[in-house]
Each structure stands twice: as C-alpha cells, then as structure tokens.
C-alpha cells in the first residue's frame, strides 16, 4: 500500500464528488485528504489516497475515462468582446450555440435592454489556446457586429472559475517553463497548506497571494534592481569583517584575513551574480575564498553555496534538512505540511544550489560557552571562532560562531535587530511568518537560545569593557549591533549599495 495524490477537474454539477468517491471505493482506496472549495475554484478537487499500486492505476484510469483526472495544465486565453444581437426571440440562444461549440467557458455576460446600450451584449470567455478561437471569431463576425474589447494570452485576466490554471501560469512566470506533472504537484502542495491555514482561520486567497509574492519579490529585487546594506569593521589590524544585507533573506558575512577569505552564510542562489558584482565593487577578491560556514539550512543562508567550488562546513542536522528538503526535520514540526511546503517553495523560487563539497562539524568537544556545547573551531588568520551547537529553536542543526577574545557572536536567526530592518525587508519576512505561522520550528527553544546568546554577549561586553571594546552581535538579518540597556542597537555606519551605481 502506498500514498498517492492526484488532481481532479470535475463538472460543476450534483453528484460529481460522489461519482469520484465511488470509483475510489470500488478499488478499496482510502481517502486520506480531499480539498474542494468553490470560493477558490468551482471545478478542481485535490485528493490523497492510500491504495495498492494496481488499485491506484485502476482508479486513475477510471477517472480519466470519465474526464475527471487532470494530468495537464492547458494554457487559456481570455477574450472580452461586445456583440450586437437582433431583438427577436431566440437570438441569445443562437449566439450561445456558437460559444458552446467552441468549448468556451463564459466568465461574464452582461445585457440590459433598458441600459445605455440596449442592443449590446458584453461577453468574457476563457478558451483553450487553439484554432477554435479564430474559428469562433470568424463565425461571429460573419453573423454579428462585433467589437473586441480585450484579448489576453498571458492568463492575467482569467477569472476565478479557472483559478488553479491562472495560478499555475503565474508560477510559470517565476520559474520558467516546467512539466505539467511538476506544476500539478506544486498546486497540490499549495492547496494542502491553504487547507491547513484555512483550518486556522486564514483566507485561502491570502495563502496563494503570499506564495506568489515571495517569488515575485525575489525576482523584482535581482539584476538591475538589486541593492544591499553594507557594514565594514576592522576586527584586528589586518582582518576585516563585512556584513552584506540583501533585499530579501539573510545577511552574508565575509571575514578577510591577509592570506584567506571565509564566507559565513551565502544568501539566496537567485542573487549570486548580483552579490559577486557587489563584492567586486567593495574590493573583495573572491579568488581568495577558502571556506564557507553555513549557520543553518534555510535557503536565504545557504542557497548560493553550490555556486562556489570551496569546502562548505555545516552541522549534520543542516545536511539532513537539505537532504530531506524539509526545514522541520529533527524537530517537533517535522511532520508539518507547512514546513515541508515552505522549504520546497523557497528553494524553488530562490534557485537553491546544493554544494558538492560538504563537511560536517565533528561534534561536542566537552567544552561549553554558556549553555551551548562547542562542536568545533574555525581559525581565520589570527581569529579563532568557537562553533556552538544550538538547541534547535529556529531550525535543527543551527550553529553559532563565537569569539570572546575578539568580541564576536554570529547569532544566525536566533538574535536579530528587527528595528534595523527596512519596511521592505520586514514585509518580505512577514510572508514566511504567515505561511509557516512561526519561523521557529520550536518557539520555546528559540526563546532559550535568544536569552542565552544575549547573556553571552553581555558577559563578553563586560570582559572587553576595560579595553574600551564591544561585543558585536552579527544576527542572521538586520544590522550588526551591540547591546545598550538590554536592547540591540545598530553599530557603526551602514552604506547603501545599489546595482548599476558607483559608490
């Protein structure tokens, strides 16, 4: 027995759901999930069933035989026109006969003989892209006075009677041409999280809008529209720290020593070319890059790692999240459909590039820093950073980097100066918070991590105070900051980099 999913497109008439259920029952299939909502799309139904391979084959064959099984996403055109009908009985009936024969779906029809245009009928149609469109127009033009108001091949004006077709076309715009089977699977996954969030009181259209907004925002802020906040600090006389904060996602850190360059987190894959151009503008020689350290498996922190031919170091838990394509792996959220879908979606839209040369930190050394076990050490020139094992609050396998001597804490997504985020960055971050309800897979542990890292920063500040130095908190998002009266405050100057503009 296996679990299978499929999409059905059924006629909007009584008994359709019953007929499909009868076929599934006939072959002893067990329905695990069904979702249909007329408010979203009046003809599309999503199923998950448990059945044997042979039974599933027979179920889909029978559904296909009666025209219920959806295996492709036919592109649709939108046509809006005005037609002038004669004032006689049967005129509308005759006109609609041509529409029916063309296989068109009426999205809008509007006529009132007491209105401003008593002899004009306005019609909007959804049609499959085929010669039927031209044939229909030729038939109508030969019989009626016709005015074309709008003819759209992009799918942008399709109405909600074909919601999922329109949605699929919008996804295609973000990721390029894809096989119908892949898009149908993506639709089913999106529908599943919409079902889950509807159970929590959310508007289903907000779910689909948030998914599309995530991909569109990344696309709209790449290339000529890319920008970044930039901070630079001298850690020692010959070692520089850079913090680059792209428009979407996590911060990228570079530590530049005389003989090498190390990157901590990489940003999204979609920004790779833009980021490389930015690095060059700031005089960073990427030929000196020797290693990448990944704090955790979210795409905005490691999604570009596969573009570099250097060793990439990470926690074993981070590797498992990448392998399973589920940011909930290893946590109490592991079975959450929200976490699983979000990981697939964000990796797809952000063009996640898996690194080929992965090395995992060895494990506990017996030492601790605060409550965190030390699981490795990273040496960059004269700078030594302890690798601390997190508690699994934000994600399983998230690590922190810490140097008491040099006053540095790379806190990943456990400590963030939210007040330093621009409105655009905050708006983008809110999309993830809505789709997974919480960006932390375990909120209780995330709180423990935040409190413990803040305490470690305060302790380090006190140790460095006699020398007039501070502990820099390098959060996964926002500005590099210091603690002032228990609150994060931006430290140092922030430059604004914009693609295509000189400094």
Whole-number Å distance between alpha carbons of 115 and 304: 60
How large is the average pLDDT for residues 83-95?
A: 88
Model confidence at 145, in pLDDT bands (50, 70, 90)? confident
316's CB contacts (< 8 A; 6+ apart) are 360, 361, 397
How large is the average pLDDT for residues 56-80?
A: 86
Higher pLDDT, 293 or 122: 293
Whole-number Å distance between alpha carbons of 489 and 503: 25
**Which range among 115-119, 131-135, 349-353 has the greatest average pLDDT?**
349-353
CATH number, position 88: 3.30.70.260
How many C-beta neighbours within 10 Å does residue 458 have?
13
Which of 61-75, 311-325, 396-410 is predicted with the least confidence, judged by mean pLDDT? 61-75
- pLDDT at residue 153 in the model: 60
Buried b (16+ CB within 10 A) or exposed e, 169-203: bbbeeeeeeeeeeebbebbbbbbbbbbbbbeeebe
Which of 85-89, 351-355, 382-386, 461-465 is predicted with the least confidence, judged by mean pLDDT? 85-89
Residue at a domain's end among 220, 235, 269: 220
Q: Are 331 and 398 in contact (CB under 8 A)?
A: no
- pLDDT at residue 128 in the model: 65
188 lies in the same domain as 316: no
167 lies in the same domain as 250: no
- pLDDT at residue 154 in the model: 56
How many C-beta neighbours within 10 Å does residue 274 have?
23
427's CB contacts (< 8 A; 6+ apart) are none
* Whether residue 246 has pLDDT greater than 80: yes
Which of 148-152, 325-329, 444-448, 498-502 is predicted with the least confidence, judged by mean pLDDT? 148-152
What integer best gives the mean pLDDT of the chain? 92
E-assigned strand segments in 265-382: 289-293, 312-314, 358-360, 368-369, 372-380
Task: Evaluate whether residue 19 is within a structural domain.
Answer: yes
424 lies in the same domain as 480: yes
Q: Are 15 and 65 in contact (CB under 8 A)?
A: no
How large is the average pLDDT for residues 56-77?
A: 87
378 lies in the same domain as 345: yes
How many C-beta neighbours within 10 Å does residue 280 have?
11
- pLDDT at residue 167 in the model: 87
pTM here is 0.84
382 lies in the same domain as 259: yes
* Whether residue 370 has pLDDT greater than 60: yes
How large is the average pLDDT for residues 99-126?
A: 81
**Residue of 6, 61, 407 lying closest to 180 (CA atoms):** 6
Higher pLDDT, 163 or 15: 15
Using H for helix, E for strand and C for coil, what is the string for 82-145?
EEECCCCCCHHHHHHHHHHHCCCEEEEEECCCCCCCCCEEEEEEEEECCHHHHHHHHHHHCCCE
How large is the average pLDDT for residues 491-501?
A: 92
At 127-137, the pLDDT tens digits run 765 566 778 88
Task: Evaluate whether residue 14 is within a structural domain.
Answer: yes
Task: Evaluate whether residue 104 is within a structural domain.
Answer: yes
376 lies in the same domain as 261: yes
Task: Evaluate whether residue 503 is within a structural domain.
Answer: no
Q: Are 59 and 27 in contact (CB under 8 A)?
A: yes
270 lies in the same domain as 182: no
Model confidence at 125, in pLDDT bands (50, 70, 90)? confident
* Whether residue 114 has pLDDT greater than 80: no
- The residue range of the domain holding 7 is 2-70
Task: Evaluate whether residue 250 is within a structural domain.
Answer: yes
Residue at a domain's end among 152, 176, 195: 152
204 lies in the same domain as 327: no
Q: Is 54 helix (H, G, I), strand (E, B) or coil?
A: helix
H or E element, residue 347: helix 337-349
* Degrees, nearest 5: CA angle 94-99-101: 95
At 418-427, the pLDDT tens digits run 999 999 999 9
- pLDDT at residue 178 in the model: 78
Residue at a domain's end among 108, 129, 152: 152
Q: Are 246 and 267 in contact (CB under 8 A)?
A: yes
- pLDDT at residue 281 in the model: 95
Which of 149-153, 223-227, 264-268 is predicted with the least confidence, judged by mean pLDDT? 149-153
- pLDDT at residue 116 in the model: 76
Q: Report the number of distinct structural domains present in the chain.
A: 4
215 lies in the same domain as 229: no
180 lies in the same domain as 323: no
CATH number, position 490: 3.60.15.10
Model confidence at 142, in pLDDT bands (50, 70, 90)? confident
336 lies in the same domain as 414: yes
* Whether residue 82 has pLDDT greater than 80: yes
At 219-239, the pLDDT tens digits run 999 999 999 999 999 999 999
Which of 91-100, 134-143, 206-215, 274-283 is predicted with the least confidence, judged by mean pLDDT? 134-143
Model confidence at 155, in pLDDT bands (50, 70, 90)? low
Q: With pLDDT > 90 as the criterion, what percentage of the chain qualifies?
A: 73
- pLDDT at residue 395 in the model: 98
* Whether residue 158 has pLDDT greater than 50: no
How large is the average pLDDT for residues 265-294?
A: 97
- pLDDT at residue 307 in the model: 97
How large is the average pLDDT for residues 234-262?
A: 96
216 lies in the same domain as 364: no
Whole-number Å distance between alpha carbons of 365 and 362: 8
Task: Evaluate whether residue 138 is within a structural domain.
Answer: yes
């Amino acid at each position: 027995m296996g679990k299978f999913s499929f999409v059905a497109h059924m006629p909007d008439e009584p008994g359709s759901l019953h007929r499909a259920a009868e076929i599934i029952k006939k072959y002893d299939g067990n329905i695990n999930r069904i979702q249909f909502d007329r408010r979203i799309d009046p003809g599309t139904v999503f199923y998950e069933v448990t059945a044997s391979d042979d039974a599933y084959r027979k179920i889909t064959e029978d559904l296909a035989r009666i025209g219920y099984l959806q295996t492709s996403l036919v592109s649709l055109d939108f046509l809006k026109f005005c037609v002038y009908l004669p004032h006689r009985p049967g005129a509308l009936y005759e006109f609609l006969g041509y529409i029916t024969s063309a296989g068109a779906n009426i999205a809008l029809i509007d006529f009132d003989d007491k209105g401003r245009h008593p002899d004009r009928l306005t019609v909007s149609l959804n049609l499959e892209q085929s010669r039927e469109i031209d044939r229909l127009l030729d038939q109508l033009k030969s019989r009626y006075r016709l005015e074309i108001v709008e003819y759209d091949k992009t799918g942008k004006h399709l109405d909600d009677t074909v919601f999922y077709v329109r949605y699929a076309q919008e996804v295609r715009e973000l990721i390029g041409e894809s096989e119908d089977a892949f898009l149908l699977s993506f639709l089913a996954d999106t529908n599943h999280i919409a079902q889950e969030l509807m159970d929590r009181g959310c508007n289903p259209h907000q779910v689909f809008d948030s998914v599309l907004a995530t991909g569109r925002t990344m696309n709209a802020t790449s290339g000529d529209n890319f920008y970044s906040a930039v901070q630079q600090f001298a850690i020692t006389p010959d070692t520089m720290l850079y913090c680059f904060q792209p428009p979407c996602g996590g911060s990228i850190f570079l530590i530049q020593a005389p003989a090498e360059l190390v990157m901590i987190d990489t940003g999204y894959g979609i920004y790779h070319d833009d980021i490389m151009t930015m690095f060059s503008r700031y005089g960073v020689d990427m030929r000196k890059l020797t290693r990448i350290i990944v704090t955790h498996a979210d795409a905005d922190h490691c999604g570009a790692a596969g573009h570099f031919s250097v060793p990439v170091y990470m926690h074993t838990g981070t590797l498992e999240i990448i392998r399973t394509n589920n940011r909930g792996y290893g946590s109490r959220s592991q079975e959450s459909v929200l976490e699983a879908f979000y990981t697939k979606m964000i990796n797809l839209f952000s063009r996640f590039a898996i690194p080929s040369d992965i090395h995992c930190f060895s494990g506990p050394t017996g030492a601790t820093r605060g409550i965190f076990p030390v699981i490795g050490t990273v040496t960059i020139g004269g700078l030594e950073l302890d690798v601390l094992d997190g508690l699994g609050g934000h994600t399983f396998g998230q690590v922190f980097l810490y140097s008491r001597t040099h006053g540095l804490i790379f806190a990943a997504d456990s400590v963030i100066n939210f007040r330093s985020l621009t409105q655009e960055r905050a708006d983008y971050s809110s999309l993830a918070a809505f789709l997974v309800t919480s960006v932390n897979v375990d909120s209780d542990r995330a709180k423990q991590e935040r409190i413990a890292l803040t305490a470690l920063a305060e302790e380090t500040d006190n140790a460095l105070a006699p020398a007039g130095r501070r502990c820099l908190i390098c959060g996964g998002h926002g500005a590099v900051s210091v603690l002032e009266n228990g609150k994060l405050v931006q430290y140092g100057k922030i430059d604004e980099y914009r693609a295509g503009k000189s400094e």
